[in-house]
A and B are shown apart, each in its own frame.
Chain A
């Protein structure tokens, strides 16, 4: 068991190393087998430990070696696996494997095939370390590791400087959050004397009471890390740009796994957050705000991947909302279903892009329903799950979150209402996408069909998106018991009806053309709003004005080393003295003789003065 546990992150790690060192000399076929095979084996290992785990529900712990030991500070390289970890590991290796398989076809034409798989495997390894870590420092190692892989993969096609800029933005913006998180780690260690997660929770419950100031600061700092990684306001701006990477990367990193790391972190340390109610309220509010703002942005985007990116931000907002109201299980459940249907959507979008000569603009697509049937059905199922239509996986999870929000004390109903608005928007924009891309007239004709390596993952993910709602996740032991959910019949009806309403609206606008937003959108105010949403509420401009440009200005001002001016000044003074003194040495014999005599006389006078 322990061996299998160690092999889970080790296999992708070894494969990554192998591909990095020898990848360019290996034939493409072998690279694909190594890259996807390592993840498949790793997924099998997860299965092999899942089986006994589900029988006993006994958390596993494996210590590999002592990382360092300085006084009391002794983090280890050790893994801790409980229900929550298992869910994450299954998603990472399972969905990860499907995406690897898909990539073997999607990236076939690329020169840097082996580099791609090396990065992708490295990512899987880092992400596994993140979720399996039993202490926060090791978690941080995985946390930064996935950030690095995200950077490398977003900027994978490095020849276009725009991709490089997007990759840098992704890394630096998340790094801002990571730094906050690092400070949180420092605070937790200094106050509680350990970074191992389980003892840390115990210690926190002993040392801090609910509402303790330090607990609030510590959780706020951890939240900072989560906001960066999970692309929540105010650190969400990197995710839409991160779509510059290959589409399977967006599916794996920027939809299914890495961006949900923040949710995982909060769920993992939920006992800390329970000690800090103000932080929890902040989590809920940030989640709701992000969900709504991103949903509005998704309404008007034209790039198929950007729509999905904003919808990812928005869905993670729902997860944060769920975390904020204490629905830990529901959030993790939504994390899982989201991983299924969003990966499906991205892969389907990738197939569209792949078959349409890298076309991203949805208005240059259309009528693909009959031309790409596999992709169409995948996309439709994904969109239905995203819109939370009844009986799809997204329905169960989102419903659970909304119900929990409804029952939250205080601002609960408000959160619920906001969540409903978001659900309406979600249903609208996801079916807007479906109707524009797959219905109507054919705009661009696809020149190829996805092969089996792309179709198979799509089909499996379709299955999971549809049936994922019936998977029971084994997190009962991890989270505190939830009180029985009992909401009125009306609440249920509304949460079922709202998505349907959204779909109908989209149908009415884009297919039957019964409703038209043309006038509203053409009016000055309408245009202003849609411009604002298109630009993602102008967060980028704001940060550019607030941070980027001042930083550049300061850098430009300092470039030539102002401190050196001080030393130059000293040098200039020395030089002046040099000039002054060298003037005395003018080469004239008479001047020397005269100054000698004068000096002699001066000395005589001084000597006499001294004598008397």
Chain B
């Protein structure tokens, strides 16, 4: 185990990259499905950071939080997909820029 240890920095760097990818996707994609996917990526990036940090300090908290994130992600996906269906039905499109009825 000791030989195979990956430095924490690397893992965090990977998590940051993933998070940045997700964020970039969220900000640039107009399709709601891709936005949801990007959100998943961001969530997973955060989860990865938690797991790595938990392993680093030998604490169970990281994994607990990971479980929590899994649950949140599942819930989010189910609500999100429901919204996708509604958006598709109302707007006949998945383009979120079209859904701006709440503009001021």
Binding site for B on A (CB under 8 A): 581-590, 593-594, 597
Contacts and interface: CB of A to CB of B under 8 A. Distances in A.
A585 B99 contact: no
B104 A583 contact: yes
A589 B35 contact: yes
B104 A581 contact: yes
Query: Which 3 interchain pairs have the tightest Cβ spacing?
Result: A587-B100, A585-B104, A587-B103
B65 interface: no
Interface of B: 23, 26-30, 35, 96-97, 99-104
A235 B91 CA distance: 82
B42 to A, nearest CB: 11
Contacts of B23: 597
Nearest to B39: A593
A594 B29 CA distance: 12
Contact of B100 (A581, A583, A586, A593): A586
Contacts of B97: 588-590
Contacts of B28: 590
Contact of B101 (A582, A587, A593, A597): A587
B96 A586 contact: no
Given A582-B103, A588-B97, A588-B100, 11 more contacts: A582-B104, A583-B104, A586-B100, A586-B104, A587-B102, A587-B103, A589-B35, A590-B29, A590-B35, A590-B97, A597-B27
Contacts of B27: 590, 593-594, 597
Nearest to A586: B103
Contacts of B30: 590
Contacts of B99: 587, 589
A583 B104 CA distance: 7
A65 to B, nearest CB: 70
A588 B96 CA distance: 7
A173 to B, nearest CB: 61
16 contacts: A581-B104, A582-B103, A585-B102, A585-B103, A585-B104, A586-B104, A587-B100, A587-B104, A588-B96, A588-B97, A588-B100, A589-B35, A589-B99, A590-B26, A590-B28, A590-B97
B79 to A, nearest CB: 15
Nearest to B30: A590
A183 B26 CA distance: 81
